[in-house]
Structure 1
């Protein structure tokens, strides 16, 4: 915490000195020591808040199951139907067995992205350490599932039987490389988009604080970017989830 305060004092002393990446600093909530494996940090706190919000929305919101739904019940029902339809369309009926896992991913990422838009909050999905764990969990799950369901025939995912025979070994290598790159692209896409949006907001906020009477110019830009970030928050959760469904489809039906 002392390091964070020192950084803030250094920036204040420098006048117009905008540091948009400071908002992503992870620090311990208790004490001034370093961040270790089991340190309770601001990221830990916000992930706990996200999980609590998911529980409140899906469990508490659906408790009554009213004929005329409340706002919470309406949101929960819309989210349920949206993810259910996505899995059914992309992965097929067989993929619906894994609905709870995919629904959990979607709700966690969606609420993490939206809660991060609250002023003075913390964006956990802007950190590659978080998104990489989510992406690796998907990668390991679908890979294990692919071998459990299909055995050695799961390797048919890498063999493009519709291509000319001479090209199949080359395409197999390309397919193999692209398969192992999946968790990298899966995680970086989410973290990169969220981090970039928040950094841009912080830059324009810094300009607004320094321009005095002309602060309305960056404020207008912040308003437009904030509206865009609301859209991005949902789109990035959707992209992460639909890619998970695509990878699940490959595990269930690996043959080209």
Structure 2
């Protein structure tokens, strides 16, 4: 966490925890190299499978804790999709549920000691955001055809302002995957970096009690952020899906 510098001070390296490392030695990372990122992504998928498939396969009238958690997640996301995207959006519910479960468990598993938070890397969140962007854009054109372009034409505005607003709408539309990915990745990276700093100062006798208290508080906050960021990513996906299904202003 912290190490003594040559000058007698303490050096803390909060960003070291985000370094991508090959699992089987070496320093070179190719596209096919198993790394700590791919390991924890696989663990995340395994945990989700155990919860949603194994944990709920009994379908007991009095559910177990695993089945209750699976049903709670299912109902929560289903209600979100129905309320935001409408009944038409429910056919895309499995995709949105998969997104939510992957992000929330990636965030939560990243809080375990010695774990790796895959959603702290923009490379991961950018792929998720681009997948959403391409998917909803394709749905918009497939379902509405050229009428999907009405999303950028604000009919309720005065006619002279509509071209200006159209340019603003187009820019904001193509910025969506950028903000969608940076919001999630930035929040996870910042929180973990702050926790690493507090943990580093825990080895300094003078400030150790305060550092530990701050670390405990920050850990609790990060638990909340892990769930909230998964919720924000998912509900924005529902909003984008609603725009694709019903593009008219």
Q: TM-score, normalised by structure 1?
A: 0.94
Residue 31 of structure 1 corresponds to which residue in structure 2?
25
Taking the TM superposition and a 5 Å limit, the aligned residue runs for 1:178-217 are 178-209=172-203, 211-212=204-205, 214-217=207-210
Deviations 1:25-59 (A, max 9, x none): 00111131411111110001000000000100000
Deviations 1:229-254 (A, max 9, x none): 00000000000000000000000000
Structure (1/2) with the larger helix percentage: 1
> Could you say what secondary structure the match of 2:30 adopts?
coil
CA RMSD of aligned residues (A): 1.3
What is the count of residue pairs matched by the alignment?
A: 247
Residue 217 of structure 2 corresponds to which residue in structure 1?
224
1:109 maps to which of 100, 103, 106: 103
* CA distance in 2 between partners of 1:12 and 1:92 (Å): 57
Q: Is 1:131 equivalent to 2:118 in the alignment?
A: no
Provide runs of 4+ in structure 1 moved above 4 Å. 11-15
Residue 150 of structure 2 corresponds to which residue in structure 1?
156
- Decide whether aligned partners of structure 1 residues 12 and 37 sit closer, same or farther in structure 2, where only a CA change above 3 A counts: farther
In the alignment, structure 2 segments of 5+ residues that lack a partner are none
Residue 246 of structure 1 corresponds to which residue in structure 2?
239
Residue 141 of structure 1 corresponds to which residue in structure 2?
135
The alpha carbon displacement at 1:214 in A equals 4.0
In the alignment, structure 1 segments of 5+ residues that lack a partner are 1-7
Residue 85 of structure 2 corresponds to which residue in structure 1?
91
* CA distance in 2 between partners of 1:177 and 1:223 (Å): 41
The alpha carbon displacement at 1:20 in A equals 0.3
> Could you say what secondary structure the match of 1:65 adopts?
coil
Q: Is 1:81 equivalent to 2:75 in the alignment?
A: yes
* CA distance in 1 between partners of 2:29 and 2:4 (Å): 25
The alpha carbon displacement at 1:127 in A equals 0.2
* CA distance in 2 between partners of 1:78 and 1:213 (Å): 45
* CA distance in 1 between partners of 2:177 and 2:207 (Å): 44
